[in-house]
Structure 1
Amino acid sequence: MNVLSFIKRWSLVVSLLAGTIIYLLFSRVSFLEPIGADAEPLLVGALPVLLFVLLFVTFCKIDVRDLRPRPWHFWLQLLRIVLSLALVAGIVCAGVPGVRLVLVGVFVCVACPTAAAAAVVTEKLGGSIASMTIYTIIDNVVTSVVVPLLLPLIERGVDVSFFTAMLMVLRNVAFVLVVPLALALLCRRLVPRITSAIAGVRNLAFYIWCVNLAIVTGVTVRNILHATVSGSTLVMLLALPLLVTLALFAMGKAVGHAYGDSVSAGQALGQKNTVVGIWIALTFLDPLSALAPGAYVIWQNLVNAWQIWYKEKYGRVKW
């Protein structure tokens, strides 16, 4: 296998490594540090734009007639709410600060919405882009209601009203989800040839997502290396998200299997918008809990990389 073939097959792993190496290079090599410091705000600011572009490209492939809710959409929402309530109960009862911090981090991983870019990986695995898109919209709306209701139970000092918190959550996803979907559907009607040409570029959205992932990984590595928690707490904040990742993917696939859509359902419950999760932790909860969704982004993409490798090698998705 040559280098190009390896990169194409393991694109997500390469993106994770690239983000890590580039961050370490610019933060540890003295003459590169000023360049890294100047570039980081620009790179982070580019994330919403990259998401917008890759989602527009993906949504160009959707037939509006396929945009309808499925039963598993609502079962997964119920499951996510039940899991979130169970974690809130554990947080309220937790007496040890370290344990409470870890549970808050796990809550953020479970409660944060599905990644807007989940449709990109879903397409790569042979799932339904349209089904994933409708689920993601439903998921984000439910998140904007459920999370503001649960926040006061976790942090009694949260000084923000329900409607303010709801609008803040919705604002973080509207630009990169609703607008590109509406624009793509409009282009399909007004300029179908151009839309078809965009949709026909193989793996374009996937590789844009890989660039996005490299940036997010660099930020995640920085947060981990600058964490101010004890060693055992840090290990728990990094390791437990792996178990949560595997559990959510497995539960999603189990629910989706009953409706013949295990690939889409697995990605729907397992692939999280950790950027929103980190924002929730930093804005409303203990900022240190943001380490958990930061670790989650690494674990979920290792799972995605393995699924893509298996699909390309055996022609089907296992698990």
Structure 2
Amino acid sequence: MMPIAMILGILLYRYVGVLGFITPYLIAVMLFFTYCNINVKDIRISSLHLWLVFIQVVGSISIYMILSPINAIVAQGIMICVLAPTATSAPVITGMLGGNIESLTAYSLLCNLMVILVSPIFFAAIGEVDSSSFIDSVWVIFQKVSLLLFLPFIFAILLQKLSPRIHREVRRMKSISFYLWSLALVIISGKTVQFIVDQKSPDYKVEISIALSAFIVCVGQFLVGRRLGRIYDNTVAGGQGLGQKNTILAIWMAQTYLNPISSLGPGAYVLWQNLVNSYQVWRKRKELN
């Protein structure tokens, strides 16, 4: 389904690109369905989670500082691939690989909170936010990001407390997230292509560099996450937590707060992480057989 959604976005970019304004709403609804399937009592923050968050923050800063003297757009595109939180679909892949779903879910909540706190500072410092001062930029971004990532969690908890019956019905409808994700992927793929086509003087060297660097960072994050997870007897959750990213959110952030071309980083990351996940699932099935 992922390749089909991306191909549709590429082919219909002139039509779907204008729908970019609904992307944050799609993300919020997807997160809401994800959070409705979380039991807050099962959430336990571990040392592994803290290490993974530390790697995300320090890693994203380090990569930007290393690459920005070479090319600022490449630096932005790869930085967002590290900073982006865990994908909403990561628990599904974690379960298929025999990993600890509860641990991955706990980390997903923690890294989303980290993004709410850290990303406004990052984007205000290096992004292209229309505001009168750095503090104003931080506040503007914080409001938008926190509403997008935190409100779905609050609504899910309130629904569970106030109307358990409706909450159970919503949990049964979790497959809707997949279709929303597909629609969002069509839109952001189209919008990314539109940015590329509308460039007055495209720099294909920069765009290819972003795509290739995203591959290196993708594989690196999966490997580092698995190595660290193995120390805490949580290999799969560590790998998926650090490597499998919410690329829909990352692309939207890049297109909104950074140079739009930098969204090619998480755009390429979509392909690379799905290749890694496909290989992992194939290898797991081979072991079981």
TM-score of the pair, normalised by structure 2: 0.78
State the distance in 1 between where 2:113 and 2:236 align. 22
State the distance in 2 between where 1:87 and 1:69 align. 26
The answer (yes or no) to whether the contact 1:277–1:290 under 8 Å persists in 2 is yes
Q: How many residues align?
A: 288
Q: Percentage identity across aligned positions?
A: 34
State the distance in 1 between where 2:207 and 2:9 align. 23
Aligned residue identity for 1:55: L
Matched with 2:202 is: 229
State the distance in 1 between where 2:43 and 2:148 align. 18
Aligned residue identity for 1:220: T
State the distance in 1 between where 2:229 and 2:43 align. 17
Distance 1:53 1:225, change over 3 A: same
The CA deviation at 1:243 is 1.0
The CA deviation at 1:236 is 0.9
Q: How does 1:261-272 map to 2 (within 5 A)?
A: 261-272=234-245
The CA deviation at 1:238 is 1.5
State the distance in 2 between where 1:103 and 1:47 align. 24
State the SS of the aligned residue for 1:20: helix
The CA deviation at 1:75 is 0.3
Matched with 1:304 is: 277
> Is the counterpart of residue 16 in structure 1 residue 3 in structure 2?
yes
Which of 152, 155, 163 is 1:183 aligned to?
155
Distance 1:140 1:57, change over 3 A: closer
Matched with 1:72 is: 48
Distance 1:294 1:59, change over 3 A: same
TM-score of the pair, normalised by structure 1: 0.72
Matched with 1:289 is: 262
State the SS of the aligned residue for 1:292: helix
Q: Residues 131-187 of structure 1: CA distance to partner in whole angstroms, max 9, x if unpaired?
A: 344423432343344445556775799966454344444434434432332333333
The answer (yes or no) to whether the contact 1:59–1:184 under 8 Å persists in 2 is yes
Structure 1 unmatched runs, 5+: 1-13, 28-35
State the distance in 2 between where 1:132 and 1:237 align. 28
The CA deviation at 1:284 is 5.1
State the SS of the aligned residue for 1:272: coil
Matched with 2:177 is: 205
Distance 1:191 1:300, change over 3 A: same
Aligned residue identity for 1:136: S
The answer (yes or no) to whether the contact 1:140–1:173 under 8 Å persists in 2 is no
